[in-house]
Amino acid sequence: MTTYEWIAEGIDVHGDIIDIYHAETAAQCLAHAAMLRAEYPQVDLGLVCDTDTGRSWAYVDADGVLSSHTEDAYGRQARKVPARYQREWARALEGRS
């Protein structure tokens, strides 16, 4: 079984993830990211993919674009991000502006 979950990560000055928020929707992820930005110098947003064979992540780049593929813990391309998550991300960004 494959599941996806949105995440917002609060990252300290050393580059360590200190706080992780898990969300069911991209809009919830964006809303929590705004709160994390008050506490942390860096906040990373993305999508976690869990499968029977492991976990991988797709992050949002500095331009607000969600990666087209997830990567595993070793930086290897793992899975294509389903189009519905790309669309959900785009809608969430539109609602924010």
Q: Convert the pLDDT of each residue in 28-39 to its tens digit.
A: 999 999 999 999
**Torsion sign over Cα 81, 24, 66, 96:** positive
Q: How far is CA 35 from CA 3, 9, 39, in A?
A: 26, 11, 7
Q: Which residue has the tokens 């595993």?
A: 72
Q: What is the C-alpha end-to-end distance of the chain, expressed in Å?
A: 35
Contact 52, 81 (CB under 8 A): no
How much of the chain exceeds pLDDT 90, in percent? 96
Q: Output the pTM of the full model.
A: 0.90
The domain limits of the chain are: 3-96
